[in-house]
Amino acid sequence: MQRLPATHTMVELCDFRTEKIQEAGATSKAAYDQWKAAKPARRHIKGLLEQMAPGRIRCMYCLDSRGTDIDHFEPKARTPLRTFCWDNHLLACSHCNSNEKRDAFPCDPTTGACLLIDPTVDDPADHLKLLPRSGELKWHTPKGQHSIEVFGLNRDELQKGRADACEMFISGLVRWHDQVQLGKTEAAMRTAIRLRRSDFPEVLRTLEGLAGTPLASLLEDRHFPEALSAWTAGPDRRGAAPLPCRGAAVPRPERY
């Protein structure tokens, strides 16, 4: 997902708080105190993050639950002076932020590089692969491995949610294709919008990656390969203008 530019007001509010942290010795306590007191800055930060969030203001890590928390990608305790840095803020659900990640920030012991996926910087497809039928994520880089572990991306409810989303997207794409073929343009448009706004957008994008491949025929609905090919062919064949798929890039698909 693309990070939006910070507003002038937000920059001024955040710079003011960073100066306060510096004056207090740049300690973790100073960072926590200033963050707690900075209601206007937090309001601006969260509002901008919500504009960037996938689906219906989903968590930028699991893409399932509603994003309710401002997460500091690099924790306040580790780098107090980055507490109000805009490029260090992500929107997370309370589970990913408080129950899973907390202050974890694994780094490469040799290079010092962070070993977590930042969805505003990294393409998750470079690090993760998705099994749509089971909803399980697999990793193929250390960054993918640590991200799955730190954010709990394979917890039961997420795997079940992705698997259910796979079934929903398959039936939804077939329904959309039927509407297009019957000339029901407005209905097709509404269906397309609902599909694009559904939770687990990475599942839809994984299915889109199967278009024109033998893997599409492995799915149970025999009408799905044709519907998927039409969906990915472009707006001239969809009967509905394509909508941007918001959120993190999708992991690569695998066999089911």
> Maximum CA pair distance of the chain?
68
The DSSP code for 96 is I
Buried b / exposed e over 111-131, threshold 16 CB at 10 Å, is eeebbbbbbbebebbebbbbb
Computed over every residue of the chain, the mean pLDDT equals 89
* Backbone dihedral angles phi then psi of residue 98, each to the nearest 5 degrees: -95, -35
**Domain range annotation of the chain:** 1-104, 157-253
The angle formed by the CA atoms of residues 137, 140 and 146, to the nearest 5 degrees, is 70
Q: Closest Cα partner for 194 from 223, 165, 229, 214?
A: 165
As a 3-state breakdown, the chain gives helix, strand, coil percent values, each rounded to 5, of 50, 10, 40
Q: Read off the pLDDT of residues 21-49 as tens digits, 9 standing for 90 and up.
A: 999 999 999 999 999 999 999 999 999 99
Neighbours of 45 (CB within 10 A): 21
At 235 the pLDDT is 53
The answer to whether the pTM exceeds 0.75 is yes
pLDDT in tens, 158-209: 999 999 999 999 999 999 999 999 999 999 999 999 998 888 888 998 899 8
2, 92, 95, 76: which is closest to 38 by C-alpha? 76
The whole-angstrom separation of Cα 36 and Cα 160 is 36
Q: How far does CA 142 lie from the centroid of its chain?
A: 19
CA distance 83 to 110: 25
